[in-house]
Amino acid sequence: MNFKYSEQQDMLRTMAREFLATECPKSRTRELEKDARGYDPGTWKRMAELGWQGLLLPAEYDGSGADFMDLVVLMEEMGRNILPGPFFSTVALAALPIMDYGSKDQQARYLPAIACGQTVWTLALDEDPADCDYARISTSARQEDESYLLNGEKTLVPCAGVADYMLVAARIRRGRIADKGLTLFIVDMKEPGIEVEAIPTITGETLYQVRFKDVKLDGADVLGAAGAGEDMLGRILDKAALLKCAEVCGACQSLLEMSVTYAGERKQFGKPIGTFQVIQHRLVDMMIQVEGLQHLVYQAGWMMSAGMDCSAQIAMAKVKANEVYQRAALDGIRVHGAIGFSLDHDAGLYYRRVLASKFFPRDAGHYLEKVAEGIGL
């Protein structure tokens, strides 16, 4: 394994860091928290011009044909800067599933528009946020000849208020009888019968309740094979979890850097607080934790790019990311002192994002069980 950046990845990393610092400083992030859209369409368009939305997509669909590790590098930079918007939901939760499981017609129809920044997507999966058991999903798609009527309710759906399309997990039924297992449907948000309600959160991001009432779909709207949704979701959410870990890793690096800078500048008793042992030890421990997380993320990203099974590494990275992000945010606030608790300070801004990543796409208990299974327990 070689965890060094390739020349292409180093260029992508540098370009992303400079672009995001200019396009979306923390002041802009705070402004977008109050914007109903939750993102800047102008920045979204310029990201598409840089090829970010289509980074992993094949050239035939206007993509760049990069590998998964390149997207890990990009997500890490987005995490460093707290980029609000629908990039994760569109790319990780929709474009990659369509690329992996969509028919040729679906790929040709939807992927170029994603790559060009013309459409926003999301995934509607959860119905009970406290329950990650797919078997309990009750949203139904009643089959009538070649058509389906979608009914049900999803909760905590990201970016649903601005989405043009949505992947929805539902069960195909004939009458009242479940005919097939979980199925993923492509739903055009312009279809009648869809109701979207905003759910404000403490993190500053808006999630949504989405209700479907007799939304008409057809066979061409099924992603992959009917009834294969559970197996597909396992792979989809593994990739999404790894990209979320990369985003968290970038956020932790930013917290470490701002804390080290502050410790070198803030003076008490006539000298920088970074000269005091208690502060030094706290920052060194933070650095060790962040380096450990980055290693797990890069290992899983390298294995994913190589086509290897990395579900165990992803589970370990997700458990570590949950732990490290919370510790780094709290330690960053402690180093900054009282000002770090302010909503207007960057340390506090990162801390509010901890819970948003902690439970997505599944809580730590789910990934701890996967790690336990991997060691034979």
Query: In order of start, what are the domains of the chain with their CATH numbers?
Result: 7-119 (1.10.540.10), 123-226 (2.40.110.10), 230-374 (1.20.140.10)
pLDDT score recorded for residue 202: 78
Q: How far apart are CA 23 and CA 283, in angstroms?
A: 29
Say if residue 361 is preceded by a cis peptide, omega within 30 of 0: yes
Q: How far apart are CA 222 and CA 240, in angstroms?
A: 21
Helix (H) / strand (E) element for 111: namely: helix 104-115
pLDDT score recorded for residue 162: 96
Q: CA angle, 206 as apex, 163 and 169 as ends, to 5°?
A: 50
pLDDT score recorded for residue 174: 65
Query: In this predicted model, what pLDDT tens digit does every residue of 187-204 receive, in sequence order?
Result: 999 999 999 999 988 777
The residue to which tokens 């948000």 are assigned: 189
Q: How far apart are CA 275 and CA 266, in angstroms?
A: 10
Q: What is the pTM of this model?
A: 0.94
User: End-to-end distance of the chain based on CA atoms, in angstroms?
Assistant: 28
Mean pLDDT of 94-117: 98
Q: Where residue 368 falls among pLDDT bands split at 50, 70, 90?
A: confident
Residues 319, 365 contacting (CB under 8 angstroms): no
Which of the two residues, 184 and 345, has the higher pLDDT score? 184
Asked whether the predicted pLDDT for residue 377 surpasses 90, the reply is no
CA torsion, ordered 289, 129, 312, 3, to nearest 10 deg: -50
Q: How far apart are CA 377 and CA 374, in angstroms?
A: 7
3-state SS track over 129-164: CCCCCHHHCCCEEEEECCEEEEEEEEEEEECCCCCC
Residues 26, 342 contacting (CB under 8 angstroms): no
Bridge-partner residues for 141, per DSSP? 150, 172
pLDDT score recorded for residue 77: 97
pLDDT score recorded for residue 250: 96
Q: Give the type of residue at 40.
A: D
Q: Give the type of residue at 197.
A: E
Asked whether the predicted pLDDT for residue 178 surpasses 60, the reply is no
CA torsion, ordered 69, 73, 74, 78, to nearest 10 deg: 140
